[in-house]
Amino acid sequence: MAKTVEPTPQGYAYDKEPEVRVAGFSDAAWEGARAVSRELGRLRGESVVVVDCYPGVTPDVLDLVREAIQPDEVLLAQDMYRDQGQIDAMLAPHVTQDRVRGVMFYGSLQDFVDPARLDALRERLARARCAGRRVLVYGVGAALVCAEGTLVYCDLARWQIQLRYRAGACNFLQDNATEDALRKFKRGYFIDWRVADRHKRTLLGRIDYLLDTNDATCPRLATGDAFRAGLAQVVRRPFRLVPYFDPGVWGGTWMRDHFGLDPKAPNYAWSFDGVPEENSLCLRIGGVRIEVPAQDAVLSHPTELLGAANYARFGAEFPIRFDLLDTMGGQNLSLQVHPSTDYIHTHYGMAYTQDESYYILDAEPGAGVYLGLREGVDPARMMGALRAANRGEASFSAEEFVNRIPAHPHDHFLIPAGTVHCSSAGCMVLEISATPYIFTYKLWDWGRLGMDGLPRPIHLDDGEKNIRWDRTTTWVQRNLVDQAREVGSGDGWVEERTGLHELEFIESRRVTATVPTSHDASAGVHVLNLVEGAAAVVRSPRHAFEPFEVHYAETFIVPAAAGAYVVEPARPGERIRLVKAYVRNATA
């Protein structure tokens, strides 16, 4: 049965809580501490129960599990790790002194383990089992202590971890409750989440229970079989991720008005609505809604989701990012530039860079996009003016150095790395970009403070090394602005190629139609957004999945395994517009 979405007072039907109903498992999930405890209580007869956790799971989960299982002895995985000083020394090159960016850590959870301490834990486990004592092994990496017994995995979405950082939670194996939340996020992004995902990937095939710990007041539990079936079903049909919204110093009001968001928030700047690395995925198992990181689907079914060619190129990493930036009634974004592929690889250990584009969903009169440099700009003079402005000596006159191009709904601005850019106030931007998203060198932040009352990080030295000074007005107009070209048409439809630039690996298409249009994701995953029209329905011509309805401004994903699909207006004859992105060289 299709889910009903209540429209906002303005008539928009954006679904803030999308979910996938898992077929075949009506009684394989439990909700609330009492029900979860009752089901876990069935494990009291087990000699060993292993409860592994994602970093960020709160201590009360241990209390819940211990009360349910009532073991004779509890072994804590945290006792196997190296001393703080050893860990800090190992990670120092990756943490760096920068407030925002570190260097990617490609090690494993085992690198944090003291072999002698791990052996001691295993000896305690063996003695307890010989004595007939029932043992609970608990914590991040618990499965390294014992590879046998019933396995419960406590999962947690990255967005929840970020909120917990802001509330005072510590990073993995760190005592940094009062540290700047940006620095905590940096450590999570470059270290904690990477080792945790690598470890979790080894466990996904043998989890007996998945414990959803996102809501500290209401734990939810599913059997491992139901969890795995849910992921397998997700990657064979269109689906949406659970969006999240965050305020920012430049944030606006468009998303609040169109999506029915909390009017008490100061503004809404960002929405991540199509980033599996960051967003959640909700599985409806019977009557219980289980929230898991969407990355679980990427890690467990990379070929089915991404397609064979994309998996060969990127590994188990989703390469395309769709997110929303709202400056309607807000302020300019920071003037910025992103690093070249060579720079991001040599400095941060990333495989590819933060190539971007701005698709304008909506715009106020007079809105614009700053893009590329004006003809004849002198680099030394511009950098001198930026340094003086960031010292507080003068304001930076952006339009003296940077093109400001008028922006209108459905314009698409292409932003290959190295191009100076930002949105002005008055724009509702759909970013269609490569997945990396924190590698922004702010050049000028318009003399303001961040939401935390502190100046936002400025990176002029890095920015100067990455600015492409040859991308001036003529080149920008010829290569980055108004690049839409028709590639196909028929009775009631037209398809255009809108980008991205040849230096970027993403192909973007815009389809305008009043009739059903045919598409095929078999060669590689498609990411789409309904940029015009109230609603559309996605169907399988071979009945491989149930009809799937999407609404205005919603991002959705069509996995490679879903294959051919048809998109049609939900209201016959209504004009709809879709923007579709996929990795170039894959067949559209």
Residue 107 lies inside a defined structural domain of this protein = yes
Per-residue pLDDT at 4 exceeds 80? no
Q: Does residue 218 sit within a domain?
A: yes
Q: Tell me: pLDDT of 11 over 80.
A: no
Mean pLDDT of 299-311: 98
Q: State yes or no: pLDDT of 322 exceeds 70.
A: yes
346 and 204 co-located in one domain: no
In which domain, by residue range, is 52 found? 20-238+276-293
How far apart are alpha carbons 290 and 282 in whole angstroms? Answer: 6
pLDDT at 1 over 50: no
- Is 565 in the same domain as 545? yes
Asked whether residue 96 falls in the same domain as residue 171, the answer is yes
Burial group, residue 494, by CB count within 10 angstroms (0-12, 13-18, 19+): middle
Q: Are 516 and 547 in contact (CB under 8 A)?
A: no
User: What is d(CA 173, CA 68) in angstroms, rounded to the nearest whole number?
Assistant: 26
Residues 404 and 458 in one domain: yes
pLDDT at residue 533, rounded to an integer:
97
Q: What is the CATH number of the domain that holds 527?
A: 2.60.120.10
pLDDT at residue 487 greater than cutoff 90: yes
| Residues 433 and 539 reside in one and the same domain | no
Find the mean pLDDT for residues 467-479.
98
The verdict on 508 and 393 lying in the same domain is no
70: left (phi over 0), alpha (psi -120 to 50) or beta: left
Integer Cα distance of 472 and 586 in angstroms: 31
Asked whether residue 266 is assigned to any structural domain, the reply reads: no
CA 564/CA 544 separation, integer angstroms: 9
Residues 194 and 322 in one domain: no
Q: Say whether both 329 and 193 belong to one domain.
A: no
Choose among 428, 452, 450, 15: nearest CA to 261. 15
pLDDT of residue 454: 86
Mean pLDDT within 350-357: 96
Q: How far apart are alpha carbons 528 and 550 in whole angstroms?
A: 10
Q: Are 430 and 359 part of one and the same domain?
A: yes
Q: What is the pLDDT of residues 488-542, one digit of tens each?
A: 999 999 999 999 999 999 999 999 999 999 999 999 999 999 999 999 999 999 9
Q: How far apart are CA 533 and CA 571, in angstroms?
A: 9
Quick one: 121 and 105 in the same domain? yes
- Residue 269 inside a domain? The answer is no
What would the DSSP string read from start to end of 423-440? E-TTEEEEEEEES--S--
CATH number, position 27: 3.40.50
Give yes or no for residue 398 having a pLDDT over 70.
yes
Residue 3: per-residue pLDDT: 66
Give the pair of three-digit tokens for residue 203: 């466990």
7 pLDDT above the threshold of 90? no
Q: Long-range contacts for 485-492 (Cβ within 8 Å, ≥24 apart)? A: 491/515
Number of separate domains in the chain: 3
Q: How many helices (H) and strands (E) does the chain have?
A: 18, 31
Residue 437 shares a structural domain with residue 569: no
Judged against a pLDDT cut of 70, whether residue 477 lies above it is answered with yes
In a domain, 420, yes or no: yes
> pLDDT tens-digit profile of 430-452?
999 999 989 999 999 999 999 88
**Is residue 150 situated within a structural domain?**
yes
Place 87 in a pLDDT band, splitting at 50, 70 and 90: very high
Percent of the chain surpassing pLDDT 70:
98
Domain annotation covers residue 193? yes
3 belongs to a structural domain? no
Q: What is the CA radius of gyration of the chain?
A: 25
pLDDT category at 35 given cuts 50, 70, 90 is very high
Mean pLDDT of the chain: 96
Mean pLDDT computed over 135-164: 97
Give the residue from 434, 462, 479 where a domain finishes: 479
Do the beta carbons of residue 211 and residue 223 sit within 8 Å?
no
Residue that finishes a domain, picked among 446, 479, 512: 479
Give exposure, 26-50, as e/b (b: 16+ Cβ within 10 Å). eebbbbebebbbebbeebeebbbbb
Do 205 and 346 fall within a single domain? no
Domain boundary among 479, 499, 532: 479
